[in-house]
Structure 1
């Protein structure tokens, strides 16, 4: 499955209600009841969604050995949609139209014949589609971690996230909440006993204003994700490439590969930079000095001798295309490899939460005024060491 081989990407959802004491046959039975192609949930657009077991788009054979790994329930969301080929529809239409107009004295088809040809061509194509030949099947990985009672979902599309939430609720009787940067901040603040608030975005540069165009008012303060990435940029640009975390561990980090910035007022547009060290490019610094905020940033993280290379999306804290650490050489058993990979995923999620918590400990405290002033000085100086 995707979470256990190759690079991983995911959104995080909190499961509403108590965590399962253990995953067992009752959970697999619920997946079987809502398996793809059996009792699929069809949306108004004709798209059907159901669960798959992970080996392929047609695999619906759920079992404990395959679908329960290291206290995680793993399976796929399969989405089926009909996509009639437009070129074939056009060919059928032209053939039917020619047959209808063959006897016309003018040699031209009438409006009525054109309508008839269009209807007959579509009916012919829809008849062919009944055997599934034009059906498109797409799977996205799902991992439900019993320890955190969170679901990692291997897709970032909002429409797929909505289908996941609906089907998960129908299957397990539990809602899913997308944990964005603002919502994660609320949860971590409660855990860490932080009492400060973030009612409005910080003004990092003069004239930036107190609004962020892509974060609507009245909801969770997801702009904190943008400020988090800018803060990480600030730290690493001053050669503070290691951050002490609340559990006593240390994470070494480096911006890498990609950086996307956008004007928070929605005025001067969006720019994406690709480089081994994108934050060190002059154009990146000029964009930040103009008030643009990071929307996503490539990062290399090392904690507990485990290295992760990923792209972090600011407002959702979604992880994109993460290269996972190599498995230990002494882990050779196939089952042990799966268990180790699940542990690595937990470690990644924990590391990101600890890093974000470290930022929030400053952002939601009286120390933020001083830290904000240091960030402003850093932005106004051309020398990256000046702050």
Structure 2
């Protein structure tokens, strides 16, 4: 139960068009109708996705007192597959071909023999799959925050999250949209009345010798400016090094103390100089980290410690997706009554804080003060010898 105990790793999906303001017994009954394990995966091509009660791999029990906590729904989804590994299928095919072609003068199987071998392997796969020996179960933990209209998926966005999203959309007739740096930026710009300014934003050039109109890892089919996540991490690094270790949150929500820690991954935005990952207590303090960003590399992932209102979180933030991994919630030593409700509140606080810091960056990025910040960052990234000449 990662959302209720232990460290947290998740990506977020915005939930739209949910027809109810609360999650009640009717919704649990819908989950029960699509519970994991009801349909066995006997076919080699079959993938079955079903709900779990959230306690363990075979939990098929759903209850309001158990699953609905602090206006959020905690549950699981299990993806069952029954596929013979490709290495085994290839081995079977080679054995079939060798047996069929052994009497051929050329030693090479004919077209008809290749077809026969393929059909034999397909039949063998069906027989082997029916035994269940290749059946695999992969569970995922999810938290659906009804009031926030947010689904937290305990994993990384990809094929598995797609299967889970398909099931939730089918059962509850909702629409799920992946939350990324770009979508957070566009939502903020709409609320702040700066959509036109955000629409004009293009990747900034932080070093003199490098110019680019997009980053190498960008999704060319997406209109979301996810590259702002990379720029945010670099801006945060610069701000912590040169101004203060506190970041003011928007809308008078206070401030947060930040320290980059543990891990730092960087990559060349034009795809020329490769990737670099640095692991250390304070990776941004190491000379190789500074050399990397002076060469034009941008942060793609970084560990950080954030403290807000006495609550401390250690986490790793992925720049473009804003996916959070390895997050630890540190409790006050005198707090012996930290239950599931408090845990869910802590998840909300963590996301609100990370998003709040990013929105503060978006405010600077689309405002009149951005050129001042950019100029200071460009100077900061100049080699030491060049900065000394400028100072002289």
Q: Normalising by structure 2, what TM-score?
A: 0.86
Give unpaired runs (5+ residues) of structure 2.
none
Structure 2 residue matching 1:21: 3-state secondary structure: coil
Structure 2 residue matching 1:160: 3-state secondary structure: helix
1:289 maps to which residue?
A: 294
Please report how far the alpha carbon of residue 17 of structure 1 lies from its aligned counterpart in structure 2 after TM superposition.
2.1
Cα 1:22/1:98, change in 2 over 3 Å: same
Q: For the Cα contact (< 8 Å) 1:19–1:146, is it kept in 2?
A: no
Q: Does 1:230 align with 2:234?
A: yes
Deviations 1:105-136 (A, max 9, x none): x9x99989998788667645633432433211
Deviations 1:183-239 (A, max 9, x none): 110112233344532431111112222221222456111111010000111111226
Q: For 1:43 and 1:194, locate their aligned partners in 2 and report how far apart those are by CA, in whole Å.
A: 52
Paired residues for 1:36-55 under 5 Å: 36-38=36-38, 45-55=45-55
Cα 1:327/1:382, change in 2 over 3 Å: same
1:382 maps to which residue?
A: 384
Q: For the Cα contact (< 8 Å) 1:33–1:39, is it kept in 2?
A: no
Q: For 2:42 and 2:376, locate their aligned partners in 1 and report how far apart those are by CA, in whole Å.
A: 53
Q: For the Cα contact (< 8 Å) 2:34–2:51, is it kept in 1?
A: yes
Please report how far the alpha carbon of residue 148 of structure 1 lies from its aligned counterpart in structure 2 after TM superposition.
0.8
Deviations 1:269-325 (A, max 9, x none): 111111111111111111111111111111111111111111111111110111122
2:275 maps to which residue?
A: 270
Q: For 1:376 and 1:232, locate their aligned partners in 2 and report how far apart those are by CA, in whole Å.
A: 14
Which of 333, 336, 339 in structure 2 is aligned with 1:337? 339
2:224 maps to which residue?
A: 220
1:155 maps to which residue?
A: 155
Paired positions, count: 381
Paired residues for 1:74-223 under 5 Å: 74-84=74-84, 123-124=123-124, 126-194=126-194, 196-197=197-198, 198-206=200-208, 207-217=210-220, 219-223=223-227
Q: For the Cα contact (< 8 Å) 2:44–2:83, is it kept in 1?
A: no
Give unpaired runs (5+ residues) of structure 1.
none
Q: For 1:345 and 1:377, locate their aligned partners in 2 and report how far apart those are by CA, in whole Å.
A: 37
Q: For the Cα contact (< 8 Å) 2:230–2:298, is it kept in 1?
A: yes
Q: For 1:41 and 1:120, locate their aligned partners in 2 and report how far apart those are by CA, in whole Å.
A: 21
Cα 1:19/1:331, change in 2 over 3 Å: farther
Q: For 1:56 and 1:294, locate their aligned partners in 2 and report how far apart those are by CA, in whole Å.
A: 36
**Superposed CA RMSD:** 3.4
Q: For 2:44 and 2:128, locate their aligned partners in 1 and report how far apart those are by CA, in whole Å.
A: 22
Q: For 1:317 and 1:53, locate their aligned partners in 2 and report how far apart those are by CA, in whole Å.
A: 27
1:241 maps to which residue?
A: 245
Structure 2 residue matching 1:324: 3-state secondary structure: strand
Structure 2 residue matching 1:4: 3-state secondary structure: coil
